Amino acid sequence: MKSTTEVNPRIAPPGWPEIVVGIAVLALVGFGLPILVSGQVDLTSPLGGALLACLSGVAGLAGFAAAAALRRRTWGSFGLRRASAGWLWLGVAGGVVALLAKGILTPLFLMLTDAPTDTQAGYAAGASSGPWLLVLTAIGLIVLTPIGEELLFRGVVTTGLLRYGPIIATVGSAVIFALLHGINVVLPAALVVGIITAELRRRSDSVWPGVVVHAFNNSITVIAYALIPGVVS
């Protein structure tokens, strides 16, 4: 007797082709595009920082779109399913846990390493340079980035790695997510957020609780950027 996947490949989870293509497109858009436009736009300026905040989300969305376009699958194969209110509230709780963990792990990480601490200075400049740039930065970091990165890293990467078991799927996708943020002050927080959101994706069968975690965490960061001039982590 054929399995459900063999009968209808559209419900099969994404695999390595989707993972590789999605990450490659994210890197191309998120890292390559700023290099191309750096001669025309000062990316270290407040406007440049706000634009980079939006590009962060666009890169994730582009990576997911490229991965999803490889083979015809249902949206549910990527965890694009409705989540109950209970799971969404667990997302809020996960955001609180991630924030508390960041407060502990980031100082420890900086004590043990000489990792850069100014990698998000552009975001901070955008959020603290007037209402319009604050709104643009907030759209990028609180709306576009959580949706784009969760669709790619949890909808594609975590889902694709689940064939190897829950530990590899959760930890593996979180490590990939964190490393793509760079070896800098953001890495501990990205790793914690990656673990929490991947586990919520696995248990709820939906990416939306992870989007809530991500948006909650980023919203606190944007508020800190806006209220505390000079803060960059």
**Residue from 30, 28, 65 nearest 51 by CA:** 30
> Which pLDDT value is given to residue 4?
39
> Which pLDDT value is given to residue 39?
80
- Report d(CA 138, CA 214) in Å as an integer: 13
Neighbours of 16 (CB within 10 A): 10
> Which pLDDT value is given to residue 233?
55
Token pair 């989007």: residue: 211
**Residue from 98, 59, 70, 62 nearest 181 by CA:** 59
Residues in the chain: 233
* DSSP structural state of residue 45: S
pLDDT per 10-residue tile (average), the chain, 233 residues: 46 91 97 87 89 96 97 93 97 97 94 89 92 97 98 98 97 98 94 98 97 97 85 57
Cα dist from 161 to 108, 176, 224, whole Å: 30, 11, 34
> Which pLDDT value is given to residue 134?
96
